[in-house]
């Protein structure tokens, strides 16, 4: 398994260059403006001095006056018959060919696009969370914070997408709802993977994936592995904090149960933030994660309420009533319980 990446600034050796500029150093160790700096691939040697010398600048202006401005498109690659293009690299034919409405209704495109966009963000969110968990496991909290900060931005995008979907009226949706059959976001395996990684383990959620052994395998693996909170509690134990054995050795396929001793540990971390600032920061990152996840759930529930009212869901649930009870599910209960316990700091 790959290790936590070192921060980019450490990897690339970004330092202030002697010549005054900042940038990656070349093999000879010189900065970007230093004399030994690697020359840009297409830079013309006669232009290099011109950029530095005031006479050169004057000549360039003169040339501009005589010849007119250089066409802005000059040098741009336009022949992709033998080169990889933007669309080739991003497989845009596949990506943009995937939005195939089943009805002739205008708003079905919006419905499909929002789902695709959210699934892509879920993909990246899972990717970042996987990294954060690995870093916590390896006691590398700084790169973990970086991944968690990015996860927070992604969650912002996921939440913002509801604003676009909320422009769809009940009438618009009912026009194509029949075409959806029994399909529902409830069957989103990426969403379940995320929930499992956050600690909401639930065997029932594996059932809709029984017909896809490949996806079932991914979910079963995540179900048996520690969640991000389990990784955090193990880290606290490694730091010598008294996390009870029954918490550390619990059955990982079940959700974590609120524990009094863990609440006491978090209360202590919050009250003595100066001594263990990284743990305090980790606690806040986790709270951000849960907070944004709950906001997404809430916005989903309210968007659904305004579009379908109190009808059943296409997936067969009670609809809004089902989504409302999901809001009660917590990931990191002690982090919220500790907030009630923290003593006022002495001034
Ligand atoms: C008109 C738009 C939407 C409606 C009416 C709707 C409705 C529902 C309903 C009623 C459920 C409960 C399960 C069921 O019976 O189907 C559900 C679950 C779900 N939906 Fe949506 N939804 C919409 C848009 C979206 C979008 C854009 C996403 C993004 C991926 C999404 C993701 C989910 C997920 C992940 C669940 C499972 C939630 C859980 O189990 O806690 N939904 N949806």
Q: What is the CATH class of 104-341? A: mainly alpha
CA–CA gap between residue 228 and residue 131 (Å, rounded):
10
Would the annotation count 52 as a binding residue?
A: no
24 neighbors 9 (Cβ within 8 angstroms): no
How far CA 61 is from CA of 54, 56, 57, 243, in Å, comes to: 11, 9, 6, 71
177 is in an annotated binding site: yes
Please give the distance, rounded to the nearest whole angstrom, from the Cα atom of residue 319 to the centre of ligand 1: 8
Q: How far apart are CA 268 and CA 276, in angstroms?
A: 10
Residue nearest to atom 42 of ligand 1 (CA): 185
- Reduce the secondary structure of 221-234 to three states and give it as a string: HHHHCCCHHHHHHH
* pLDDT tens per residue, range 94-144: 999 999 999 999 999 999 999 999 999 999 999 999 999 999 999 999 999
| Average pLDDT, rounded, for the chain | 88
Query: Was 314 annotated as part of a binding site?
Result: yes
- Round to whole Å and give the CA distance between 34 and 27: 12
Give the CA count within 13 Å in the CB-facing half-sphere of 88.
6
Tell me, in angstroms, the distance from the centre of ligand 1 to residue 339's CA: 31
Answer yes or no: are the C-beta atoms of 17 and 25 closer than 8 Å. yes
Closest C-alpha to ligand 1, atom 26? 115
Share of the chain above pLDDT 90, in %: 76
Return the CA Rg of the chain: 27
By C-alpha distance, which of 88, 110, 89 is closest to 99?
110
Percent of the chain with pLDDT over 70: 85
Q: How far is Cα 328 from Cα 339, in angstroms, rounded to an integer? A: 18
The tokens describing 114, both together, are 């929002």
Per-residue pLDDT tens for 256-308? 999 999 999 999 999 987 788 999 999 999 999 999 999 999 999 999 999 99
15 phi, psi to nearest 5 deg: -145, 165
Displacement of CA 118 from its chain's centroid (Å): 11
154-190: per-residue pLDDT in tens?
Answer: 999 999 999 999 999 999 999 999 999 999 999 999 9
The predicted model gives 212-219 an average pLDDT of 98
Exposed e or buried b for every residue in 300-339, given b needs 16+ CB within 10 A? bbebbeebbeeeebbeeeebbebbbeeeeebbbbbbbbbe
Atom of ligand 1 nearest to the CA of 317: 15
pLDDT at 15: 42
* Residues 282, 145: Cα–Cα separation, whole Å: 7
Backbone angles phi, psi at 206, to 5 degrees: -80, -25
Bridge partner residues of 15 (DSSP): 23
pLDDT, average across residues 207-221: 98
Domain residue extents for the chain:
104-341
What is the spatial distance between Cα 312 and Cα 185, in angstroms, rounded to a whole number? Answer: 14
SS3 content of the chain, % helix, strand, coil (to 5): 60, 0, 40
pLDDT-based confidence at residue 13 (cuts at 50, 70, 90):
very low
Sign of CA dihedral 109, 110, 113, 118: negative
HSE-CB of 309 using CA atoms within 13 angstroms = 4
Residue 50: predicted pLDDT:
58
Residue 19 contacts residue 31 (beta carbons within 8 Å): yes
């Amino acid at each position: 398994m790959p290790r936590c990446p070192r921060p980019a600034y450490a990897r690339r050796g970004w330092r202030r260059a002697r010549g005054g500029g900042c940038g990656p150093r070349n093999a000879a160790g010189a900065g970007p403006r230093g004399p030994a700096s690697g020359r840009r691939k297409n830079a013309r040697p006669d232009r290099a001095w011109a950029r530095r010398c005031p006479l050169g600048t004057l000549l360039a202006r003169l040339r501009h006056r005589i010849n007119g401005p250089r066409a802005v498109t000059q040098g741009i690659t336009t022949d992709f018959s033998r080169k990889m293009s933007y669309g080739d690299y991003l497989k845009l034919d596949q990506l943009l060919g995937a939005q195939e409405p089943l009805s002739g209704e205008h708003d079905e495109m919006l419905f499909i696009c929002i789902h695709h966009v959210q699934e892509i963000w879920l993909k990246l969110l899972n990717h970042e969370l996987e990294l954060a968990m690995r870093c916590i496991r390896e006691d590398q909290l700084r790169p973990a914070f970086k991944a968690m900060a990015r996860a927070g931005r992604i969650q912002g995008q996921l939440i913002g997408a509801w604003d676009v979907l909320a422009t769809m009226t009940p009438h618009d949706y009912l026009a194509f709802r029949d075409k959806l059959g029994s399909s529902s976001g409830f069957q989103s395996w990426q969403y379940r993977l995320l929930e499992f990684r956050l600690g909401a383990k639930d065997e029932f959620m594996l059932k809709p994936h029984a017909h896809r052994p490949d996806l079932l395998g991914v979910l079963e693996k995540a179900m048996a592995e520690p969640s991000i909170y389990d990784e955090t509690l193990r880290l606290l134990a490694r730091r010598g904090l008294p996390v009870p054995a029954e918490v550390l050795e619990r059955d990982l396929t079940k959700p974590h149960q609120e524990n009094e001793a863990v609440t006491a540990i978090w209360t202590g971390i919050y009250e003595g933030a100066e001594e263990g600032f990284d743990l305090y920061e980790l606690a806040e990152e986790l709270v951000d994660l849960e907070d944004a996840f709950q906001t997404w759930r809430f916005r989903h529930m309210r968007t659904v309420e305004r579009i379908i009212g109190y009808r059943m869901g296409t997936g067969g649930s009670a609809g809004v009533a089902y989504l409302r009870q999901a809001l009660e599910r917590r990931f990191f209960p002690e982090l919220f319980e500790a907030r009630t316990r923290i003593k006022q700091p002495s001034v």
